Structure 1
């Protein structure tokens, strides 16, 4: 019995999708002789319990959807359920559970589960605002890099205490067009960055 999440940390405005896979390997679960169903659920902090999202009947392969998602895609088959959430939000950062139900030699209705947590990126309001601003700016940016001249970029997006992935993301958006962007010196550390020539 396996549950996988990709990625395990949701970065606001960056993570395009969250994929949760609930599956049974080799068509068997320890201590369960007859597998009847597979259930994918997630933890609801408001009511402090797990809410079932999908239930797959192992014999008929009938999938029952118990929760609705605005932007999602689900695939299923022989003892697996895969849920893809597009543009995940903070509520999607929680604990997901894969539950196998069935019978065993000494009785009926035995259940085994596996859990995996998805975290929400740290409080990065300024970072999110800058990403949104750059995306909006990118649509209107008419600059282009010239092969015979390096374009000097006066702002290097290096946030204090932010990780390399976030810094690289901002730089990539910025260097895409080689345009100069005015930023608040109160929020950013200033330095000079040159885009690659050619």
Structure 2
């Protein structure tokens, strides 16, 4: 469905979205309490449009959200990738873990691999993350990834903290990626 490559880590397969991922994505958009930090719960129509936009993002930019698959179970655990919407200040490293897959370091593992891929393959660096001040889990993950707060801003009418990530070849990023990639 997309030109996305397949990346692997110690525990994950990162691939482009597939039709079979729509139910998990739709459940996340319409039911997850964590949607409060990314604009609020949506409808099935919102999920459908968001899912298709994610596919189109790959065709338009050559990058987008990877589906994060637990390699043991084959279950879609979330999405992590690079997005750059029309009013974004620049490409963003972003993550959304589906219910039941938080607290396993999957987002960290995937983000390390994608940061390396984005830097080595696409020359996109250093990336940013736009995080709601109320999203304590994402703030903690950005910090764990070595990102630092750069400024406060408003994007899509939402208050965000703009975090600047490490370059893929920064020694700290290299050591993180070595631990995460199979």
Give the structure with the higher percent strand.
Answer: 1
Quickly name the TM-score band, shorter chain normalised: under 0.3
Larger Rg computed on CA atoms:
1
Give the structure with the higher percent helix.
Answer: 2
* TM-score, scaled to structure 2: 0.22
* TM-score, scaled to structure 1: 0.21
